[in-house]
Amino acid sequence: MTQPPPDPFAHPQTPGPAVPGPAVPGPAGPSFPPAAAPSPYPGTGGYAGPLQTGVGPWGPLAGWGTRVGAMLIDILVQLIGMVPYIIGIALFVIGAPGSGADVSGSGSDYLPPDTGNAGLMILGGLLVGVGLLLMLGIQIWNRAFKQGRTGQSIGKKSMGIRLVDEHSGQPIGAGMAFVRDLAHTLDGFAYIGYLWPLWDSKRQTFADMILGTVVVEVDHR
């Protein structure tokens, strides 16, 4: 049986709604790890932007010579306590009793012993104690409280530098500043830790590495 020829004047048939078929999975695309959050110090595990020696996110890093100068000033300030200490030593020696030996060359084998001056010895001992306490007090006030709260000891302020946390850029507080001074004990072994900033990209001593601190120049603008 033959099909009738199509009618050229007939209206085209309207296609019906598409029947959804089973989804065909496409080829899997490459997977990428999530982007890491930017670090304030890229390039060295910390410093942002392209690494530039001597530059950090909180300003230019303080030079080794500048830091040494600040430390020497702090030591000189601490030595104020040496004044009563030295005077006390001198008074104690003057007031100490003699041995009673003949040192005049008069031929006598023995001289009455010198009982000394107990008052001078007591005063000397007190001044020695005052001097030691004064040196310790200046050290704690200057290096822990003042530096911890403002970032600057007297020496650092004189040299235009500042101690800050390497992540926040803020002063580290009195407690952490005191611990940092204790950690400088490690720097004192053969002075290697104190020399480390000469070649370190962040110019850190061992104490700075342990506490996560950097020393930067102060912006005077």
Token pair 């030079």 is found at 63
What average pLDDT does range 134-149 have in this prediction?
A: 97
- Give the per-residue pLDDT at 16: 54
pLDDT of residue 27: 56
Q: How far is CA 66 from CA 2, 73, 77, 88, 183, in A?
A: 106, 11, 17, 35, 20
192: nearest Cα among 210, 205, 181, 177: 205
Please give the share of the chain, as a percent, with pLDDT higher than 90: 62
pLDDT over 70 at 50, yes or no:
no
Provide the percentage of residues in the chain whose pLDDT is more than 70: 67
Q: Tell me how far apart the alpha carbons of residues 195 and 106 are, in angstroms, rounded to a whole number.
A: 60
Task: Count Cβ atoms below 10 Å from residue 77 Cβ, excluding itself.
Answer: 19
pLDDT at 80: 95
Which carries the bigger pLDDT value, residue 24 or residue 153?
153
Within 8 A by CB and 6+ apart from 27, the residues are none
Q: What is the pLDDT of residue 99?
A: 57
Average the pLDDT over each of 7-11, 110-114, 158-162 and give the range with the smallest value: 7-11
pLDDT at 47: 44
Q: How far apart are CA 208 and CA 193, in angstroms?
A: 10
Angle ∠(37,47,159) on CA atoms, nearest 5: 140
DSSP single-letter state for residue 58: T
Higher pLDDT, 50 or 177: 177
Query: What's the rounded Cα separation, in Å, for the pair 76 and 62?
Result: 21
So what's the pLDDT on residue 64? 96
**18 pLDDT more than 80:** no
Determine phi and psi for 215, rounding to 5 degrees: -115, 125
More confident position, 154 or 13: 154
Rounded to an integer, the average pLDDT of 18-40 is: 53
Task: Give pLDDT, residue 12.
Answer: 54
pLDDT of residue 57: 85
- Sign of the alpha-carbon torsion through 183, 196, 153, 133: positive
The pLDDT score that the predictor gives to residue 58 is 84
The answer to whether 88 and 128 are in contact (CB under 8 A) is yes
* Cα 171 from Cα 121, distance rounded (Å): 45
Residue with tokens 């004064």: 134
Instruction: Answer yes or no: is pLDDT of 51 > 60.
Output: no
**Residue 199 clears pLDDT 90, i.e. is over it:** yes
pLDDT band with cut points at 50, 70 and 90 for residue 43: very low
